[in-house]
Structure 1
Amino acid sequence: MDSVKLVVTDMDGTLLNANGQKSPEFYTVFRDLRKHDIQFAAASGRQYYNLLHQFEPVKNDMYFMAENGSYVAYKDETLLVRGLETTVAHGLIDIARSIPGAYIILCGRKQAYLESTDEAFLVHVNQYYDRQQIVKDLKSVVDDDLLKIAICDTKGAESNSYQHFKQYEQELQVKISGKTWLDLSDRLANKGVALSALQKRLGIRPEETMVFGDYLNDLEMMGAAKFSYAMANAHPEIKAAATYIAPSNEEDGVMTVLKELLRSKSN
Structure 2
Amino acid sequence: MIQLIVSDIDGTLLPYGETILSDDIFSLIQQLKERGIPFCPTSGRQYHSMRSLFPALADEVPFVCENGGVVFGPGKEETAPIWASIPMERETALTLAEEILALPQCELLITGAKYAYLWHQCPQEYVEHMRDFKGFQVKIIENLEEVQEDILKVSAHCPQGTQSAEDHLGPNWSHVFHMAVAGHDWLDFTMADKGQGVVELCRILGVSPQNVLAFGDNWNDVAMLSAVGHPYLMDSAHPELLKQFPTTCHRVEDVLRHWLDTGELL
Whether these two folds match at TM > 0.5 is: yes
- SS of the equivalent of 1:113 reads strand
Residue 13 of structure 1: aligned partner: 11
Q: What CA deviation, in whole Å up to 9, does each residue of 1:98-137 have, x standing for no partner?
A: 2100100111122111113412212331233421111112
Aligned partner of 2:210 in structure 1 is 207
Structure 2: 5+ residue stretches without partners: none
Q: Contact (CA 8 Å) 1:46, 1:129: kept in 2 or not?
A: no
3-state DSSP class of the match of 2:22? coil
1:60 to partner: Cα distance: 2.0
Residue 46 of structure 1 corresponds to which residue in structure 2?
45
- How far apart are 1:95 and its partner, in Å? 1.0
Look up the equivalent residue of 2:130 and give its one-letter code.
V
Identity of aligned residues (%): 27
Cα separation, 1, equivalents of 2:60 and 2:238 = 30
SS at 2:9 equivalent: coil
Could you tell me the TM-score, scaled by structure 1's length? 0.91
Query: Residue 155 in 1 paired to residue 160 in 2?
Result: yes
Aligned length: 255
Q: Equivalents in 1 of 2:199, 2:60: separation in Å?
A: 19
Seen in structure 2, the aligned counterparts of structure 1 residues 236 and 10 have a Cα distance that, compared at 3 Å, is same
Q: CA offsets, 1:55-84, max 9 Å, x none? A: 121112211001111010012100111111
SS at match of 2:57: helix
Residue deviations 1:156-186 (CA, integer Å, cap 9, x gap): 11x1111122122222111111111011111
Normalization by structure 2: what TM-score?
A: 0.91
The one-letter amino acid paired with 1:118 is P
C-alpha contact (below 8 Å) 2:48/2:137 kept by paired residues: yes
Alignment of 1:247-258 (within 5 A): 247=250, 253-258=251-256
Which blocks of at least 5 consecutive residues in structure 1 are unaligned? 248-252
After superposition, the C-alpha distances for 1:22-79 in whole angstroms (9 at most, x for unaligned) are 1221111111111111110000011001111111211122110011110100121001
- Distance change (3 Å), C-alpha of 1:8 and 1:109: same
Cα contact 2:107–2:122 (8 A) shared by 1: no
Query: Once superposed, what is the RMSD of the aligned Cα atoms?
Result: 1.5
Is 1:122 aligned to residue 131 of structure 2? no
Matched, 1:165 2:163: no
Higher-strand-fraction structure:
1
Partner residue in 2 for 1:241: 244
2:262 corresponds to: 264
Aligned counterpart for 1:225 among listed residues 211, 228, 236:
228
Whole-angstrom distance in 1 between the partners of 2:259 and 2:158: 38
Q: Counterpart of 2:36 in 1: which secondary structure?
A: coil
Aligned to 1:59, the other structure's residue is in SS state coil
The 2-side partners of 1:263 and 1:141 are apart by: 48
1:73-92 matches, within 5 Å, as 73-74=72-73, 75=75, 76-92=80-96
